[in-house]
Structure 1
Amino acid sequence: MSRPKGYIYAEVTVTDLATFNGEYAPRVAPVLARYGAKFLIAGGNPDVREGGRDVKRIVFLEFDSADRAREFYDSPDYQDVIGHRFVSADTHLYILEGSENGDARVG
């Protein structure tokens, strides 16, 4: 049986578009490619139906495993870039492991 995929899910509110697009985005792209990340979602206008959150933009990345997503996030290459996001966006970010069997069992 193969290992479940890993994901990074982020809710992003860009506060400085020039820095986000001019400094962060071009620097993060090659690092994401190095770790095999695939964009599943990268966009605005989420239709929030529950929870009362004001979410402006969702980013959902797929990796070969949750461990690979952690390797990306903790890598020196990403840590060199992340400061550009910290100064240009407010973010809630999560590293997730996919379901092994496609079910939703708890425990």
Structure 2
Amino acid sequence: MPSYVLVRTQVHNPEQFEQYRALAGPSVKAHGGRMLLKGAVLEALEGQDDAERVAVIEFDSPKVAREWFHSDGYQAAVRARQGVATMRLSLLA
């Protein structure tokens, strides 16, 4: 059963954020993930939301999504974005 990772982002340093993107993209592909929505501008219709952009990544299963998140490749991307962007990732399964 497909599952999705919802990514909500606030970028504080766009130039350094490119390092995160350079690492995160290949890690998604390595786990068979597909970017369904990437960098979309978020418009809050109800309630307050501080995310500037959102992305949706599809994986074949919740298990694969978790494996991607905990993978060495993605965790290297997480380290690269520390202090550069604030992100919230949610697994929709």
Q: Report the TM-score, using the length of structure 1 for normalisation.
A: 0.79
Match of 2:6 among 9, 15, 18: 9
Tell me by how many angstroms 1:38 deviates. Answer: 0.6
Match of 2:65 among 66, 69, 75: 69
1:89 alignment partner AA: A
1:41 alignment partner AA: L
Rg larger for: 1
Q: As a proportion of its length, which structure holds more strand? A: 2
8 Å CA contact retained: 1:35, 1:72: yes
Q: Secondary structure at the match of 2:43?
A: coil
Which runs of 5 or more structure 1 residues have no equivalent in the other structure? 98-107
Q: Aligned partners of 2:41, 2:72: CA distance in 1, in Å?
A: 32
Q: Secondary structure at the match of 1:67?
A: helix
2:36 alignment partner AA: L
- Say how many residue pairs are matched: 93
Q: Aligned partners of 1:43, 1:77: CA distance in 2, in Å?
A: 21
Q: Which runs of 4+ in 1 moved over 2 A?
A: none
1:79 alignment partner AA: Q
Which runs of 5 or more structure 2 residues have no equivalent in the other structure? none
- The percent of aligned pairs where both chains have the same amino acid is 28
Q: Secondary structure at the match of 1:91?
A: strand
Q: Which residue of 2 aligns with 1:49?
A: 45
